[in-house]
Structure 1
Amino acid sequence: MMDSIDRNVDHCNVSNNATYNILSWIVAGQFALGLPLNLSVLYIFIFRFKFWKNKSIFLFNIVVADFLLVACLPAKAYHYQRGQRRSPNYIMCKTMLFMVFLNRGASIAFLVMLSIDRYFNVVHLGRRNFVKVLKKSPQISVVIWLFLLPLTIPTMLNTFECCNSYGRVNNTFSQGVTDTSREVVFFTEILLPFIILVFCTVRIVHRLRRKTVGDKSKLRRASYVVTSVVVLFSVCFLPSTIARAVLLATRLGMRPEAENVAAEVYDSLMVLSYIDCLLDPLVYCFCHSGFKVAYVTTFCPVFLQKRLLKLEFSSGMGTTTTTTSSRGRTLSLPMLDK
């Protein structure tokens, strides 16, 4: 009896079927677009671009994380279609949260590493870039994945109903610690990387505008690339993070009607965050001229290949940006080839 009461209190069922029916179709569309896109990108990375030889191991890991997250979307769409915020099945619920936490965290972690690498290449020219050394080693990528695994532990522990108990079930001290840890991980994996990305981007753009000499169009393009990363991150992840904070506030304030609305907004913005799986290849991979050429020559028709490749080389995206270090040395900066 107690189990059923807890489940009702923590309501897996939705309060507005129409909203979640729309969300289910949006998620299904994201899956339909994201699966072939990420599969095609993975194919190019492995069989045509040979990422391990082109210093693109971090990019490859971002795509792997996005692909694994896209693979979870059909289950999400299915439960939304049935009027459920989460799967009532314990194993399915845990598996979905594990995949979301792990792959979102991995995608963000490798993105931060790429941004730090660009930061050292632009702002601290001539100095030792430890990230450049790390990104050449596949073992470092494995270490990052393994480091992220413990962060999913609070989600996997059996201390909450419907995978969503914070502020509801407070039977023991350990349950409160576990639920709090899960929320801390959720907010930290978004806010801390955002601060790092903003810092790196501001310094990079400032350096490009003041210290770099060369083709102004290339400098502007480089600034757009690094700025687009922050914009993408902000659009995909910050809204759901803010909505999560509002949801917790309404729950702790014991305002059930407001909580229902907050839950709908939060789930809707979480669906928005899945767009990251579609935009990552466009923002990161296709800004790499070598990858873009490999993709175009593999999947585009011949008549379109000529036009795209002509545009590619005429725009100069395959060239490097020249900049001068504080020691007076002129170095080439392949900003768009990161």
Structure 2
Amino acid sequence: LLKATLDTNISEEQRFCKFSEDYKQIYLSLTYSIILVLGLPLNVTVLWLSWRQTKRWSCATIYLVNLMVADLLCVLTLPFLIIAYSLGDRWPFGELLCKLVRFLFYTNLYSSILLLTCISVHRFLGVCHPLRSLPYRTRRHALLGTATTWALVVLQLLPTLFFSQTDYVGGHMVCYDMTSPENFDRFFAYGVFLTLSGFLFPSLVILVCYSLMVKSLIKPGETLMKTGNAARTKSIRTILLVCGLFTVCFVPFHITRSFYLMLRFLSSEDCQLLMVASLAYKIWRPLVSMSSCLNPVLYFLSVGNNRVRLFQELRHNKVGDSKMLTMTSLNTVIGSRLTVTSSKGIPTHPS
């Protein structure tokens, strides 16, 4: 009976094929550790710089700060994954944390995509329709856009709280990345919906925006008159970095995951193909979190000279504090010498 129970908990690919996944213990632990070491200080620094900023936040800053918050929530879950994979894919933290970690992983993924879509649309309006879009490129609309983004992402991802489960496989607890085998058919339908609504549709919006922006930017004279050289430079930076993010993080992940889900749904018994699909998906899965390290770069490239002024102000304050400390020490030394001189009967202030 125990053997039958364990057999029902074995993943679909392992039911027909036998291949080792020992690489996960080293690869996933190392990858998530690197992302944690880089992503945590970068996102904390961006949030701290934004908080220290004296000027009112622009629309771009509002979107980017929300992006950093999503990254930080994801980065804070990485220690649990690092420990779990270091223990040989064992999950010692219980089902509640399993659900929370999976939920925050996908929250970071799809909120990043939607917020990058908002940034792209905002930049597109500023480049292609700078005057007509002025009533829509306001802080109020930026706050409304971020609130709508978070609401949509939470609604989209509520089912993950149901699908994410713990179970006992081989005598130890695991936290399923997707769901248990008995719920896989329903998860497949949900996964297709999530890919279309959370990735494909926003990607098409970004592609259209950037195509129109590039078409406008290749006319330097007309664009320079409309938006100015600084806005044009920012637009080019945004296009390059967002396209890089999608190329490195989001597109390969969704392609490999969709291929892997399709093979499992069709119950493919081609072990070689299933092994390749599983390997590709599990290699790209942690690289999605690399966006937590790359998104702060988008902040530093987008906020213009504000960051330079802030660093100059902090440096000035630091230099000022050092000078004040030096003057205080000098006055203390002079005062002590005058006191010693006075005690010997020599006037401290000769006339």
For the criterion TM > 0.5, the same-fold answer is yes
Name stretches of at least 5 consecutive residues in structure 1 with no aligned partner: 304-338
Counterpart in 2 of 1:198? Answer: 207
Partners of 2:201 and 2:80 in 1: how far apart?
29
Alignment partner of 1:227 is 2:240: yes
Match of residue 68 from structure 1: 73
Higher relative contact order (CA 8 A, sep 6+): 2
CA shift in 2, pair 1:75/1:301, >3 Å: farther
- Letter of the 2:247 partner, please give it: S
Once the 2 structures are TM-superposed, how far is the Cα of residue 99 of structure 1 from its aligned partner? 0.4
Give the structure 2 partner of residue 317 of structure 1.
Answer: none
2:10 alignment partner, SS class? helix
Indicate whether 1:208 and 2:249 are aligned: no
Candidates 121, 130, 134, aligned match of 1:116: 121
Structure 1 residue 225 displacement after superposition: 3.2
**1:248–1:24 CA distance, 2 compared to 1 (3 A):** same
TM-score under structure 1 length normalisation: 0.75
Instruction: Give the paired residue count.
Output: 298
The 1:183–1:54 alpha-carbon spacing in structure 2 relative to 1, beyond 3 Å, is closer
Deviations 1:165-217 (A, max 9, x none): 48x436xxxx7445411342145312222211121111112112223136879
* CA separation of 1:221 and 1:181: change in aligned 2, threshold 3 A: closer
| Distance in 1, Cα, partners of 2:163 & 2:229 | 57
Give the fraction of aligned pairs with identical amino acids, expressed as a percent. 23
More deviation, 260-269/154-163: 154-163
Distance in 2, Cα, partners of 1:134 & 1:39:
23
Which has more radius of gyration?
2
The SS at the match of 2:151 is helix
Query: How far apart are the structure 1 equivalents of 2:288 and 2:275?
Result: 20
3-state SS of 2:249 partner: helix
User: Whole-Å Cα distance in 2 between the matches of residues 223 and 268 of structure 1?
Assistant: 30
Structure 1 pair 9–208 and aligned structure 2 pair: CA distance change class (3 A): closer
Structure-2 separation of matches of 1:182 and 1:97? 14
Instruction: Determine which of 248, 260, 281 is the counterpart of 1:247.
Output: 260
Aligned-partner SS, 1:132: coil
Normalised TM-score (structure 2)? 0.73
For structure 2, list consecutive stretches of 5 or more residues without a partner in the other structure: 168-175, 319-351
Deviation at 1:50, TM superposition (A): 5.5
**Alignment check: 8 A CA contact 2:107 2:153 kept:** yes
Query: Aligned pair 1:260/2:275, yes or no?
Result: yes
Q: Which has the higher helix share?
A: 2
User: Aligned with 1:125: secondary structure?
Assistant: coil
Q: Distance in 1 between matches of 2:32 and 2:186?
A: 32
How has the CA–CA distance of structure 1 residues 248 and 140 changed in structure 2, closer, same or farther, with 3 Å as cutoff?
A: closer
Shift of 1:130: 6.1
Q: Which residue of 2 aligns with 1:275?
A: 290
More divergent stretch after superposition (123-132 vs 276-285) = 123-132
Are residue 45 (structure 1) and residue 50 (structure 2) matched? yes
